[in-house]
Amino acid sequence: MGADGRHEIAPRSGVAFTLGRGERLTVIDPCGEQVADLLAFNRHDTDEVLSSGRTLDYASRIYLTTGDPLYSNRSNVLLRIVEDTVGRHDFLLTPCSADTFRIIYGDAHPHRGCFGNLAAALAPYGIAPDRIPVAFNCFMNVPVDGATGAFHVAPPLSRAGDHITFEAEIDLVIGLTACSALQSNNGSFKPIHYRIAPAA
Ligand SMILES: [Zn+2]
């Protein structure tokens, strides 16, 4: 941990930690153009998990920002976005994985990706790989053609020092990565920083 309370996630890796009700998690892109996949589980019952489907349904929007709540599969609010200096994140695409790199990139010996990093980090909390849903992909830029629904992965709009802050509505287990997919991060792998602030 740095002097200002920052933790660093090394390129192409991931971590898990607890976040108490009322605490704030700030995810920082220290170099610019780097995605961080975020997962949240109810700490007291990890069958309750972040839900892209419910969140986007209730928001009636696919791009979320300051003020938007992130719902669980049981329609409870897990996190609320309270600050956002970028305004473009993705909540459609599943964490990159060895299969992603095999199928999309044609890698013969693929990296385990965000999925493998999240699975390893969440295992000590008793969360199995099959419980991992679509992540909230901080800073990931996925423009969608409104008429056809076609989308592509574009470079993140985040510049060095940009950040997004979430407030926990209940006690959570958080999974967080520095994304491992070349396309998502404009061709290079960089670290992600995060900071936890106590409940007000
Ligand atoms: Zn990834």
Q: Per residue in 105-142, pLDDT tens?
A: 888 889 999 999 999 999 999 999 999 999 999 999 99
Q: Residues 96-115: pLDDT tens digits?
A: 999 989 998 888 889 999 99
Q: Residues 6-54: pLDDT tens digits?
A: 999 999 999 999 999 999 999 999 999 999 999 999 999 999 999 999 9
DSSP per-residue codes, 54-81: HHHHHHT-SS--TT-EEEBTTS-EEEEE
Report the separation in Å between the CA atom of 132 and the middle of ligand 1, taken as the mean of its atom positions.
Answer: 13
* Spatial separation of the C-alpha atoms in residues 5 and 175, rounded to whole Å: 18
Report the separation in Å between the CA atom of 181 and the middle of ligand 1, taken as the mean of its atom positions.
Answer: 5
Q: Look at residue 3 and tell me whether its pLDDT is greater than 70.
A: no
Q: What is the pLDDT of residue 199?
A: 87
Biggest CA–CA distance in the chain, Å, is 49
Q: Look at residue 60 and tell me whether its pLDDT is greater than 80.
A: yes
Report the separation in Å between the CA atom of 73 and the middle of ligand 1, taken as the mean of its atom positions.
Answer: 22
Token couple for 148: 């056809």
Report the separation in Å between the CA atom of 174 and the middle of ligand 1, taken as the mean of its atom positions.
Answer: 16
Report the separation in Å between the CA atom of 148 and the middle of ligand 1, taken as the mean of its atom positions.
Answer: 25
Residue count of the chain? 200
> Residue 112 gets which letter from DSSP?
-
Phi, then psi, of 78 in degrees rounded to 5:
-95, -45
Q: What is the pLDDT of residue 4?
A: 80
DSSP per-residue codes, 13-68: -EEEEEE-TT-EEEEEESSBS--EEEEEEETT-TT-BB-HHHHHHHHT-SS--TT-
Q: Look at residue 1 and tell me whether its pLDDT is greater than 90.
A: no
Q: What is the mean pLDDT of residues 157-167?
A: 98
**65 or 3: whose pLDDT is higher?**
65
Q: Residues 84-93: pLDDT tens digits?
A: 999 999 999 9
Q: What is the pLDDT of residue 173?
A: 98
Q: Residues 140-149: pLDDT tens digits?
A: 999 999 999 9
Report the separation in Å between the CA atom of 61 and the middle of ligand 1, taken as the mean of its atom positions.
Answer: 22
Report the separation in Å between the CA atom of 200 and the middle of ligand 1, taken as the mean of its atom positions.
Answer: 32
* Spatial separation of the C-alpha atoms in residues 8 and 75, rounded to whole Å: 31
Report the separation in Å between the CA atom of 114 and the middle of ligand 1, taken as the mean of its atom positions.
Answer: 4
Report the separation in Å between the CA atom of 149 and the middle of ligand 1, taken as the mean of its atom positions.
Answer: 22
